[in-house]
Structure 1
Amino acid sequence: MINRSGSDPHQHPEPSAFPPPLAGLKVIDTATLFAGPYAATLLGDYGADVVKVEHPDGDPARRYGAQADGVPVWWKVVARNKRSVTLDLHTEEGQRIFRRLAAGADLVVENFRPGTLERWGLDYAALSADNPRLVLLRMTGFGQNGPYAHRPGFGTVGEAMSGLAHLTGTPDGPPTLPSFPLADAVAGLTAAFAALTALRARELTGRGQVVDLSIVESMLGVLAGPLATYDLTGVMPTRQGNRSPNNAPRNVYRTKDGHWVAVAATTVSIAERVVRLVGRPELAEEPWFGTGSGRARHAGELDAAVGGWIAERTRDEVVDAFEQAQAAIGAVYDFADVLQDPHLAARGSVISVPDPELDTIRMPGPAFRLSDTPGSVRSAGPRLGEHTAEILGELGIGHAELTALAEREVV
């Protein structure tokens, strides 16, 4: 076993006098990989009962990324606070059982290609006939309609087609994709908000509805500024490396001891503090210095001043000096730095979660803090089908019937 517990005062937060804010909300998560499951994970962190419906072969996320002691690490994080039930939705028996699960749920999350639920007889018309208050969250690459609706669409496609890759990288280099599922995370965050919005609407209308969410459109939402800039000015935003077209100095700079720091001077007051700190106060008197776009046009001159000063000092010296000057800076962390940072430790930003397979696993805590009804991580991702008997037992399916379903490979 790998022990990653360390010393973590936030492993067992103080119990709240109130129930979790999403207690009583039942979510059926039949999505795979990251975008849809992440949305369900966020809801689970705040008390929703999340039932993870997996094909008997398991969610592909179980086979994604690194393993520790033969256990998939990504799965342990993205499937936290969930109960796992196996169910083959290609079979008529599996479909009938799924309808029974959905009949008692508030939200179903799915990310099959458009038309798949309809082919299985599990479309919204069928599910809402049993449960008119059900919200169906449908997440795909391109949405439920339109010329591209039936294309497969992972987060990478969203990163490419939203314009993100076009903007990312050095000016003389190729478009660059993130090395982790960024678009899936953005879509998952958007989807959690969408689901809660639809559930709030249910309080007003008395009925559920369908949420149609596209990964590409989720990414477009966070790239609205560059898109609108091009539309209204005709000027195409381009790759800037680590610089910004809107302000300067804004870059990463190497320190004397081989580390990197990121500096951002979004406002003129911060920019003035930076140039004074690095011994170039005369730059603040230049006519172009008073606007972000003006400073951006002189980014090379500012980078030379800031980068040269930083290169002569260690990371700790640079960060301390910027802090004393009240100028914005952040050390470029690797994950060892993240796990050792005293501020993140004091905040409990990374928590230790007990796990029967890994002993403990450290992972980020809930995304935000609520003073009266905080979120919590009660368990890491479950074993495949760990709760099948428990969940199907809640539907009245006993041991004999469960055994027969297993023999027919329905579960």
Structure 2
Amino acid sequence: MEAHARTTPEGALSDLKVLELGSMLAGPFVGSMLADFGARVIKVEKPGKPDALREWPPHKDGAALWWKTMARNKHAVTLDISRPEARELALRLIGESDIVIENFRPGTLERWGFDPAELSQRFPRIVWVRVSGWGQTGPNREQGGYATIAEAFSGLASFTGHADKGPTVSAFPMGDYLAGIFGAFGALAAIHRRERSGRGQVVDVALYEPLLRIIESVVVRYDQTGRKKPLLGNQMEEDVPRNVYATADGGAIAISCGSQSIYDGLVDAMQRPDLKSDPRFATMADRVIHRDAIDGEVAAWLKTQPTASALERLVANKVVAGKINDIADVLGDAHIAAREAIRTLVDETLGPMRMPAPVPKLSETPGDIRWSGRDPGASNDEVFGDGLGLSAAEIEDLRRNHII
């Protein structure tokens, strides 16, 4: 594993200045998305009480590994914006920003004297991205919110799981990351509008709303038919057979037969022409009715096949299939390497480190990882001194009084 320097053109968002407030995942992932494509993101943490993500495992030699990727490409400063003594410094940072990101509980910024509605008079061009559990309005706005609760509230969890075991939620904070992506999209949409109107606006994202957005078919189905989507485990109602199947050597393969031609290829790979002529499986509608029967046939066949040879036969017959990779498989995969989906950089404390590359790929101004997440206040001198013009003595005074 050799780390290498990358020479890339100026980032697509290199003209944008972003101030990131808040902590953990959803708001900071907005900043990560923007920073990957060149935006100058200043990450603010409270002195003596840094972002709680630094406390989350895993750690190596005392370094928070999740932090290394979430805070990559960001300038780390410390500033206690809740204190009146920090107000003018915070306002100077806000005033120099195109986008301000926050994910505090609604009302917190207002309580500290940074109400976006009021500050829009002084800083009319700023785009405010406000990510919260429940949004800035509504009866639940003041409740705490996490990604797990968002999956439950959005309706997504009601049909992910098995009928005999009940609903399940993701094993990682999917809602936070989706909210971050939608927040970044909203920020850029608002910046695009600003080019014509000259004014910024507030981008309001509740954690559950991106999840609700992506289950659109479930919403319109219930609205128009009164039918709810059932718990089917790894299966889908509309796409049969579709499941994760165990193989003979302890592996597993995912298959999705979304069209007749893919189904025909599957039964050819299985060398089961009888499954083509069986009227129970003649069309997708027929297979939906007899899902357990056809799913059982596929499962029984794959249980007798080694993973590699089964996958080779499936791909040769144009079946949409893929081996269930663990993360070691992903990091060693030739396609991942060819796409440069994993990048290696040199962390200042841990040395060579691999992490996911920026997404999506831009042909002219691709995203890049310039550095990994830094220590609290690592950029204080750069941001407050070089950026805002404070003297070394002024910075030291702020530090001594725990304002930075």
Q: TM-score range by the shorter chain?
A: over 0.9
Map of 2:142 onto structure 1: 150
Residue 20 (structure 2) pairs with residue 42 (structure 1): no
Output aligned runs, 1:322-333, within 5 Å: 322-333=314-325
**CA–CA separation in structure 2 for the residues paired with 1:205 and 1:285:** 63
Q: Deviations over 1:80-121 (max 9, x none)?
A: 110100011110122221111010100000011111111111
Map of 2:254 onto structure 1: 262
**1:26 CA displacement:** 0.4
Higher alpha-carbon deviation: 122-131 or 359-368: 122-131
Output aligned runs, 1:125-136, within 5 Å: 125-136=117-128
Residue 256 (structure 2) pairs with residue 250 (structure 1): no
**1:332 CA displacement:** 0.5
Higher alpha-carbon deviation: 125-134 or 42-51: 125-134
Output aligned runs, 1:284-363, within 5 Å: 284-287=276-279, 289=281, 291-363=283-355
**CA–CA separation in structure 1 for the residues paired with 2:15 and 2:352:** 28
Output aligned runs, 1:12-411, within 5 Å: 12-16=5-9, 19-56=10-47, 57-287=49-279, 289=281, 291-393=283-385, 394-411=387-404
Given that 1:244 and 1:296 are in contact with CA atoms closer than 8 Å, whether structure 2 keeps it comes out as no
**1:292 CA displacement:** 3.3
**CA–CA separation in structure 2 for the residues paired with 1:254 and 1:148:** 43
User: What is the letter of the counterpart of residue 370 of structure 2?
Assistant: R
Given that 1:353 and 1:360 are in contact with CA atoms closer than 8 Å, whether structure 2 keeps it comes out as yes
**CA–CA separation in structure 2 for the residues paired with 1:129 and 1:236:** 47
Instruction: List, as ranges, runs of 4+ consecutive aligned residues in structure 1 with deviation greater than 4 Å.
Output: none
**CA–CA separation in structure 1 for the residues paired with 2:171 and 2:141:** 26
Unaligned stretches of 5+ residues in structure 2? none
**CA–CA separation in structure 2 for the residues paired with 1:390 and 1:288:** 70
**CA–CA separation in structure 1 for the residues paired with 2:391 and 2:129:** 30
Higher alpha-carbon deviation: 305-314 or 340-349: 305-314
**1:131 CA displacement:** 2.0
Given that 1:268 and 1:289 are in contact with CA atoms closer than 8 Å, whether structure 2 keeps it comes out as no
Return closer, same or farther for 1:297/1:395 CA change in 2, 3 Å cut-off.
same
Return closer, same or farther for 1:49/1:234 CA change in 2, 3 Å cut-off.
same
**1:345 CA displacement:** 1.1
User: TM-score w.r.t. structure 1 length?
Assistant: 0.95
**1:193 CA displacement:** 0.5
Query: How much identity, in percent, do the aligned residues show?
Result: 39
Higher alpha-carbon deviation: 135-144 or 299-308: 299-308
Aligned-partner SS, 2:144: coil
Aligned-partner SS, 1:385: coil
Equivalent pairs counted in the alignment come to 402
Aligned-partner SS, 2:164: coil
**CA–CA separation in structure 2 for the residues paired with 1:276 and 1:305:** 13
Unaligned stretches of 5+ residues in structure 1? 1-5
Return closer, same or farther for 1:288/1:309 CA change in 2, 3 Å cut-off.
closer
Higher alpha-carbon deviation: 64-73 or 283-292: 283-292
Given that 2:102 and 2:131 are in contact with CA atoms closer than 8 Å, whether structure 1 keeps it comes out as yes
Higher alpha-carbon deviation: 92-101 or 186-195: 92-101
Given that 1:245 and 1:293 are in contact with CA atoms closer than 8 Å, whether structure 2 keeps it comes out as no
Map of 1:3 onto structure 2: none
Higher alpha-carbon deviation: 301-310 or 239-248: 301-310
**CA–CA separation in structure 2 for the residues paired with 1:127 and 1:339:** 46
**1:14 CA displacement:** 4.5
**CA–CA separation in structure 2 for the residues paired with 1:380 and 1:288:** 55
**1:266 CA displacement:** 0.8
**CA–CA separation in structure 2 for the residues paired with 1:90 and 1:179:** 34
Aligned-partner SS, 2:167: coil
User: What is the letter of the counterpart of residue 391 of structure 2?
Assistant: G
**CA–CA separation in structure 2 for the residues paired with 1:341 and 1:284:** 34
Given that 1:32 and 1:111 are in contact with CA atoms closer than 8 Å, whether structure 2 keeps it comes out as yes
Given that 2:27 and 2:101 are in contact with CA atoms closer than 8 Å, whether structure 1 keeps it comes out as yes
**CA–CA separation in structure 1 for the residues paired with 2:192 and 2:282:** 45
**CA–CA separation in structure 1 for the residues paired with 2:5 and 2:219:** 45
User: What is the letter of the counterpart of residue 41 of structure 1?
Assistant: S
